[in-house]
């Protein structure tokens, strides 16, 4: 009989008490670290223009030799068939000192809003949401995640590599991986508006046998003369419902940006052997009159106990610091991805200047 998950249902109107758990000195020091204003020592990747210049980066990961992987959606071009590339997610490889950016193209996968790169046996595997549904020209509501070897020039449709299915009724699946602690974590949404996180043993997930399941999805319509279609498709996948999770919790979404979890858009998460790092934030619409951008980080235990509640990240709202470093003169700094690497926390930032429409990728390291 499967072990019941410990579910933490937080009131959107009440700030929860701190979890009674031992955390590292690094985690304890996060409020002070994140409060600091932006300066040049925080920026480790600056002003990187990707393939679709008007699209922001979506997520990223960093591996042992400092190679960075970044996901981005293709150009939307008002979703005009023959011009739009909104069905494509690109995964770029950015190597130190290299002028080129090899990439994979993943079509009909999803939004690429949280990727993870797992190093195993000399191969780097990209974990990403897959088998998504077209909603208003964009791809959301992914019902699987896939583990795909990174190979420059690869194109895949719908899913690829090894694919993992999750519970019926859960959608917008996003993966995080901590191989050192044998963890595969899945972020998901439910129809009642709650946001869930569930953790599995990575080794157990990889040992699951393949099975064939049928899912209903809507996709297509991006190519000239092609119509959008809704159909039932057979997918070959590994069924995570067969595993006993090692932890998990639910969080409600709120509306009050001063106090409620995910009252700003959810911008990714990461996991280590003890904590989850949940990221939310919003740019200022590239309009100085809207004031500064905002980004918040909530740190929890694997079962949802609150370690830190919605810590503000000072760099995103530092209008002067962003201007002095030349990242943006409008204050537009949108949160895009989070990673815990040893005793460092990496954060993604999409910026834009008033002189052009290009959204550029930046990474901060605390």
- HEC secondary structure over 32-71: HHHHCCCCHHHEEEEEEECCCCCCCEEEEEECCCCCEEEE
pLDDT at 30 over 90: yes
Give backbone dihedrals phi and psi of 157, rounded to 5 degrees, phi first: -115, 130
C-alpha to C-alpha distance for 299 and 263, rounded to whole angstroms: 16
Predicted TM-score of the model (pTM): 0.94
Q: What's the order of all strands across the beta sheet hosting 333-341?
A: 43-49, 360-365, 344-351, 333-341
Three-state secondary-structure class, residue 30? helix
Round to whole Å and give the CA distance between 271 and 28: 16
CA distance 185 to 27: 19
Q: What's the pLDDT score for residue 280? A: 98
> Of 295, 342, 334, 365, which is closest to residue 72 (Cα–Cα)?
334
User: Per-residue pLDDT tens for 294-353?
Assistant: 999 999 999 999 999 999 999 999 999 999 999 999 999 999 999 999 999 999 999 999
User: What percent of the chain is predicted at pLDDT more than 90?
Assistant: 92
Task: Return the pLDDT at 21.
Answer: 54
Domains in the chain with CATH codes: 25-365 (2.115.10)
Contact in structure between 63 and 124 (CB atoms under 8 Å): yes
Query: 3-state DSSP call for residue 316?
Result: helix
Q: Distance from first CA to last CA of the chain, Å, rounded? A: 43
Structure tokens that stand for 12 in this block: 């959107």
CA–CA separation, 194 and 242 (whole Å) = 23
Higher pLDDT, 142 or 11: 142
Given a cut of 70, whether residue 292 has pLDDT beyond it is yes
Judge whether residue 12 has pLDDT over 60: no
Tell me the average pLDDT of the chain: 93
């Amino acid at each position: 009989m499967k072990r019941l998950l410990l579910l933490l249902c937080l009131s959107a109107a009440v700030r929860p008490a701190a979890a009674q758990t031992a955390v590292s000195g690094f985690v304890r020091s996060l409020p002070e670290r994140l409060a600091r204003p932006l300066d040049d020592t925080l920026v480790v990747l600056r002003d990187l223009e990707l393939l679709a210049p008007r699209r922001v980066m979506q997520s990223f990961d960093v591996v042992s030799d400092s190679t960075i992987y970044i996901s981005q959606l293709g150009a939307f071009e008002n979703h005009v068939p023959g011009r739009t590339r909104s069905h494509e997610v690109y995964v770029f490889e950015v190597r130190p000192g290299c002028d080129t950016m090899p990439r994979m193209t993943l079509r009909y996968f999803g939004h690429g809003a949280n990727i993870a790169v797992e190093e195993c046996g000399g191969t780097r595997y990209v974990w990403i949401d897959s088998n998504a549904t077209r909603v208003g020209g964009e791809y959301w509501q992914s019902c699987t995640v896939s583990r795909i070897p990174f190979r420059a020039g690869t194109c895949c449709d719908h899913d690829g590599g090894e694919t993992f299915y999750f519970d019926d009724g859960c959608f917008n699946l996003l993966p995080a991986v901590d191989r050192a602690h044998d963890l595969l974590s899945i972020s998901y949404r439910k129809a009642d508006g709650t946001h869930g996180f569930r953790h599995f043993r990575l080794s157990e997930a990889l040992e699951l046998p393949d099975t064939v399941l049928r899912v209903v999805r809507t996709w297509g319509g991006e190519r000239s003369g092609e119509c959008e279609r809704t159909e039932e498709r057979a997918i070959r996948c590994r069924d995570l419902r067969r595993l006993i999770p090692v932890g998990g919790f639910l969080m409600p979404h709120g509306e009050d940006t001063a106090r409620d979890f995910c009252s700003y858009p959810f911008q990714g998460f990461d996991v280590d052997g003890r904590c989850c790092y949940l990221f939310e934030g919003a740019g200022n619409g590239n309009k100085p009159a809207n004031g500064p951008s905002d980004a918040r980080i909530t740190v929890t235990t694997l079962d949802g106990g609150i370690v830190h509640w919605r810590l503000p990240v000072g760099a995103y709202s530092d209008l002067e610091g962003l201007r002095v470093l030349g990242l943006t003169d409008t204050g537009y700094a949108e949160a895009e991805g989070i990673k815990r690497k040893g005793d460092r926390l990496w954060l993604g930032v999409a910026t834009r200047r008033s002189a052009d429409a290009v959204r550029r990728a930046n990474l901060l390291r605390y």
